[in-house]
């Protein structure tokens, strides 16, 4: 079962074409990694999946982005509802300057959840799902800015989970973290795919090999190859994929 189906997607920033005829299917409850050198289009494609590119001037998008069969760029599509269904975790942890509790409760409150008992449940469940509850349960009233970098990133994941998304987009979520924190985020991603579809952009090819079910390799705005991660890394079909994976360029 595919969660997202992308058909012949093209994207321009002004006159620059950042995505060229991209078509791929993202299966439900799997981890899909986008790899490739800087500027190849992988983050642009990721942000297209929850219309973050709407916030950028002079963007033009063609093609279909189907979420459960519905085109997210249809004029009747609600971008706020879309971003509730498709959460985003960024490269640098970006906790709000408020308490740990209020960071997690922020999204549910904006969607109309008011009762304290219900919010308490959401906060605890989201932090447990993000593997952070045991570390912060005694610090819920303290500022989230006092957490370590790795804890802040897991807090941002918990904040995304609090509105019960179906898809989690991760844009290089561990690039600012140390190896131990990186390992925790990877373990977390593997545990979360039981319930969520995860798409991760990563420069760390070992990370893609460790956690992704499928991997797509991008170069200069085109998708060169997409398939099962094991095959992409052990027996790629395209020479350019092999050159990138073996470190000949990038």
Instruction: Give pLDDT tens digits for 129-152.
Output: 999 999 999 999 999 999 999 999
| pLDDT number for residue 55 | 83
- For 152-170, the pLDDT digits (tens) are 999 999 999 999 999 999 9
Average pLDDT of the chain to the nearest whole number: 95
pTM over the 0.85 mark: yes
Q: What is the pLDDT of residues 93-121, one digit of tens each?
A: 999 999 999 999 999 999 899 999 999 99
Question: How is 169-192 classified by DSSP, letter by letter?
Answer: EEESTTTTS-HHHHHHHHHHHHHH
Name residues whose C-beta falls within 8 Å of residue 128's C-beta, 6 or more positions apart in sequence.
none
CA dist 93 to 61, 106, 171, 220, 222, Å? 28, 16, 11, 28, 29
**Residue 248 pLDDT > 90:** no
Are the CB atoms for 41 and 19 separated by under 8 Å? yes
């Amino acid at each position: 079962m595919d969660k997202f189906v992308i058909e012949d997607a093209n994207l321009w920033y002004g006159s620059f074409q950042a995505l060229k005829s991209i078509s791929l299917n993202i299966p439900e409850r799997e981890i899909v990694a986008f790899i490739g050198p800087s500027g190849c289009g992988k983050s642009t494609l990721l942000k297209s999946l929850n219309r973050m590119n709407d916030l950028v001037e002079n963007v033009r998008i063609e093609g279909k982005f189907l979420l459960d069969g519905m085109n997210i760029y249809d004029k009747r599509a609600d971008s706020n509802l879309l971003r509730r269904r498709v959460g985003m975790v960024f490269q640098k942890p970006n906790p709000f300057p408020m308490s740990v509790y209020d960071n997690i409760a922020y999204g549910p409150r904006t969607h109309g959840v008011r009762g304290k008992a219900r919010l308490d449940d959401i906060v605890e469940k989201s932090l447990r799902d993000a593997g952070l509850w045991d570390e912060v349960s005694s610090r819920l009233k303290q500022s989230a800015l006092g957490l370590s970098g790795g804890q802040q990133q897991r807090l941002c994941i918990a904040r995304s989970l609090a509105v019960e998304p179906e898809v989690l987009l991760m844009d290089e979520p561990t690039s600012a973290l140390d190896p131990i924190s990186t390992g925790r985020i990877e373990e977390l991603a593997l545990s979360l795919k039981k319930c969520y579809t995860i798409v991760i952009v990563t420069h760390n090819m070992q990370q893609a090999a460790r956690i992704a079910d499928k991997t797509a390799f991008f170069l200069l705005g085109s998708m060169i190859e997409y398939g099962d991660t094991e095959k992409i890394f052990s027996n790629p079909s395209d020479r350019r994929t092999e050159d990138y994976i073996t470190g000949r360029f990038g």
